Structure 1
Amino acid sequence: MDSKKTLALLQEVKNGTLSPEKAVLKLRTSPYEDLGYAKVDLHRELRQGVPEVIYGSGKTPEQIMGIASAMRKNGVGTILITRLSTEAAEIVEKAIPLDYDEVSRLGIAGRKAEITSSGIIVVASAGTSDLPVAEEAARTAEALGNKVTRLYDVGVAGLHRLLSKLDVILKARVIVAVAGMEGALASVIGGLADCPVIAVPTSIGYGANFGGVSALLSMLNSCASGVSVVNIDNGFGAGFLASRINHLGDKE
């Protein structure tokens, strides 16, 4: 149950059209819907401000459709589906309107999210090979109501590319820095920006990159203050956290 439905329920109690006992029953029975293979968390938006996000990898198209249908039935307007394969997306979109992006493997079911924050999130990637993770972060942030500016292929091997966009960096409320190899981009941006920087190590790189571990360790050991790090290839987590930070700026 989202905040609008909860307010409507409370208004019914206030108006006397619904008894407190029946209202309590509705609240007690609405926290989740048990589909057998999944318990859909219908109170997530009420608790956290954002509905449950469907992790598509490992789920069948039928399971994804079942979860999304339960969410739509309960008033969720924008449903985010991450790590969704092209094959699964083709099946899902036959039953549910779906905006699918092959690069990020991210699908959005339902209406396009409105911009709900005045701040700007900048998503910067070191190289073109990092685009799948960067786009996952960018599209996640957009689906959560944020304005996003993309700076792609601005890695430290050609530092002038990043420095030419310094005006964009200085306008950001939060920056997501996506890099593989040695992961140096996050430290450089952290030394230039006056806002929080969320570093995302990617599994892009040669053998000694160890599937992103070298970039992860470099980012964790950054000497630039204000840099935090999410898990390897976790563009979704970075985009979600960036949205939280961006919206906090408006609350303040």
Structure 2
Amino acid sequence: MPTSRSYGDACGIARALDVVGERWALLVVRELLLGPQRFTELRQALAGASSNLLADRLRELEARDVLRRRKLPPPASSWVYELTEHGRELEPIVLALGAWGVRVPLPPPPTTLSATSVMLFLRAAAHPDPAAPATTCRIELDDRVWTVHTAAGQLQVEPGEPTSADARLRTDPKTLNALLNDPTTLDTAISDGSAVATGDLSALRSLLHAPTRSHQGRARPPHLDIGWSWKSPDNR
């Protein structure tokens, strides 16, 4: 059941942890950073949390004005959870925590990796070639679709179908994570069936190389072992 535990400490840090310090709370926030999700989508992304525990965290965060629940208009007509403006202020904190966490050893297998986590890394780490033409890629991960648009050296990630796409990639989060770590393995992933790619493959290859391009001249960081964001000292 929902908890009302408090540190009873007047410090702002303790008061913040009274709101988002319970287990799974910040991972719920992570999952909503790129857009609303249904309960079933959150449950799939946070596989280690039971349905009852996840429901408790959602109720607590809603009561604290971190997120809200709303009904999508027809034809979907389903309920989704999304961050409030107050909750969205947690984004730089969550991303900074992820950057700090890459120095923590990986947990023993088996491990999970959510689609949102990989897409957050791509958004944070990629710096497309400013001279390259604008492209739009459709990325499908675990039955969720993302639109990735690159233009003028910038990259945007949005949930949902693009109106049109130069290239399309369907795979799972761990395979995309591996492709971002080593884009040269795309052909192997296509041939063994772990990825399906169509359209302009040169645009897709350019997208997969964007994180590599952003770290030219420096050792490639270990972020991709967990699919989280990373910032070099030059970009702090």
TM-score, normalised via structure 1 length: 0.29
When Rg is computed on C-alpha atoms for both structures, the one with the higher figure is 1
TM-score, normalised via structure 2 length: 0.30
